[in-house]
Structure 1
Amino acid sequence: MTATHEWAAQTDEVRAFWGRLELPGLVDVHTHFMPERVLRKVWHYFDALAAPGGEPVWPITYRARETERLAVLRDFGVRAFTSMLYPHKPGMAVWLNGWSADFARRTPDCLHTATLFPEPGVTGYVREAVEAGARVFKAHVQVGAYDPADEALDAAWGLLAEAGVPVVIHCGSGPMPGPHTGPGPIARVLARHPRLRLVLAHMGMPEYEDFLGLAETYGEVRLDTTMAFTAFAERLAPFPERALLRLAALGDRILLGTDFPNIPYPYVHQLDALAELDLGDGWLRAVCHDNGAKLFGL
């Protein structure tokens, strides 16, 4: 299927971006596919964020049926992507993992994604998901309002570290702080499981420098670019210019993420924002494709 919506006009811009870098496409480690009723609740949350004059604060740019959203990514040349989904209460994770396993079976370019929550049985269903072929996990400390260092998760983190399965985790305090966001709680997890392949979502926004420090300390820690450096994010939490050299030095552990479809701007803006950092084509090639391809064996 080819996207026929107005977004199709963006295809040439996205493909020109990675074509200029002589890449075979893009690897996006932070895209959201989830059960429709769950996704609609997410969209409702963003729709409710309105400015005083009633203008939407966070319009969903790629609001469409699942088939069309998939077509958009494929037309853009995204070789591999994820179905980032997450529970906000106990009892949801097993159901979400069942949905995402089925989605991966019918969507071969999606990396089989799973999730977890601190609850009885978490180690068992994490093991089942890994044995079923899950290639990446998603954890959302802010939405779930849980401590990632909770003892209930300790064995699950250990299992994932041993299996080498990456975990994309939203643990920074943006866009709103939670009781367990920030670098402290996840640093305690890494102290126990230093080989855990954590991918810190949104570059750890807004505690960018603290989370860069975790990546500098732990060789398996990575960061994804999701929303970082865009004009939207820079208004809320600007990335400190003094940290750009550290970002450049970690070029082999920065991964492209976008938050598609839940972004308030065109997909290409994330790519352009990375290019405008002026860290070189080699850095861009690694971030937009090669690091993700290596991590997931594409």
Structure 2
Amino acid sequence: MTEPTAPPGPHPDVAAVRAFWQGLGLPGLVDAHVHFLPPRIQRAVYAVFDSAGPKIGRDWPIRYRQDHAERVEILRAMGVRRFPTLPYAHKPGVATYLNEWAALFAREVPESLWSATFYPEEPAAAYVEEAVADGAEVFKVHLQVGEFHLDDPLLDGVWGLLEDAGTPVVVHAGSGPVGNAFTGPASTERLLRRFPRLALVVAHLGAPECAEFLALAERFEQVRFDTTMVFTDFFGVEYPPDLLPRLRDLGHKVLLGTDFPTIPYPYAHQLESLARLDLGDDWLRAVCWENGAALFGVPEA
């Protein structure tokens, strides 16, 4: 699964990341939005980004294109104490393969959160139930890529299981960077009306439908966000300034997310972009460590 190589020395991006969390007095970082995929699928994802095609919409150079082992070592050196792999099924019949691969990765990489995915298909409830029983810690679904609505009837059994289990689901439901007929807050709101206790983590702060997703987090107790790429110079979606006081007040529901490795800038830029919001060190400590550690059961030591 992983190659036995290791980088010859510290990555040049390590020092800035460590200085950031050490300056806040934290034991490290919990990153709720990191991807590791089977090599063949990872290459296919890279090819989509390299093509700057319709699902990407712009040039998107990938900064961290190392092999799996090297990327794990970079995260360790940066002080990222826990991170998921977040596989996401893009069509029927691939979720179980991705889940098996991610389970093996989690066994080999102790910092990795055991991640899984699902897709609207007849076997979904059965394999999600099995993954939950085996100890999966987080799920990921991607509405833009998978082209489905969260309240697809084929997922009814899945959501009931996950609501009862309390297992977090990272959901890319916002229309950034490129929307389609399946993105936006509508199916998320319909789903939460039926399953109000679901532990959803809305990726990218729901951008560009920031206000609508923020309102859902204010309304539903277990809805959270990750910060992935939002506020960076690259993302291209301005977070409405008038929402920042509400985002500050929801600081206990915001998790650090980065989209490592598929980002075009140094990892520290996401951290710096959060700091320049000027929402306070307590807010940053909650986002970068405390909220993720609480959600995923990460010990401080």
Using the size of structure 2 for normalisation, the TM-score is 0.94
Give the match for residue 34 of structure 2: 31
Distance 1:4 1:247, change over 3 A: farther
Partner of 2:140: helix, strand, or coil?
strand
Equivalent position amino acid for 1:92 in 2: V
Equivalent position amino acid for 2:42 in 1: L
Give the match for residue 240 of structure 2: 240
Instruction: String of CA shifts for 1:124-176, please: whole Å, max 9, x gaps.
Output: 00000011110000011110000111111011011001001000000001111
Instruction: String of CA shifts for 1:235-255, please: whole Å, max 9, x gaps.
Output: x21111111001100000000
Give the match for residue 17 of structure 1: 20
2:67 equivalent to 1:65: yes
Give the match for residue 153 of structure 1: 155
Q: Which runs of 5+ in 1 are unaligned?
A: 51-55
2:35 equivalent to 1:44: no
Q: Distance in 2 between matches of 1:130 and 1:178?
A: 30
On the 8 A contact 1:2/1:72 being kept in 2, the answer is no
Partner of 2:105: helix, strand, or coil?
helix
Q: Distance in 2 between matches of 1:63 and 1:11?
A: 16
TM alignment of 1:218-233, pairs within 5 A: 218-233=220-235
Give the match for residue 218 of structure 2: 216
Using the size of structure 1 for normalisation, the TM-score is 0.95
TM alignment of 1:89-108, pairs within 5 A: 89-108=91-110
On the 8 A contact 1:202/1:224 being kept in 2, the answer is yes
Give the match for residue 194 of structure 1: 196
Question: How far has the Cα of 1:2 moved from its partner?
Answer: 6.2
Give the match for residue 167 of structure 2: 165
Aligned CA-pair RMSD: 1.2
Instruction: String of CA shifts for 1:176-235, please: whole Å, max 9, x gaps.
Output: 1121110011111101000000000000011011100000000100000000000001xx
On the 8 A contact 2:6/2:69 being kept in 1, the answer is no
Q: Which runs of 5+ in 2 are unaligned?
A: none
Q: Distance in 1 between matches of 2:146 and 2:13?
A: 34
Q: Distance in 2 between matches of 1:57 and 1:255?
A: 27
On the 8 A contact 1:3/1:75 being kept in 2, the answer is no
On the 8 A contact 2:91/2:146 being kept in 1, the answer is yes
On the 8 A contact 1:142/1:181 being kept in 2, the answer is yes
Q: Distance in 2 between matches of 1:243 and 1:253?
A: 15
Give the match for residue 257 of structure 2: 257
Seq. identity, %? 53
Q: How many residues align?
A: 290
Question: How far has the Cα of 1:3 moved from its partner?
Answer: 3.8
Partner of 1:9: helix, strand, or coil?
coil
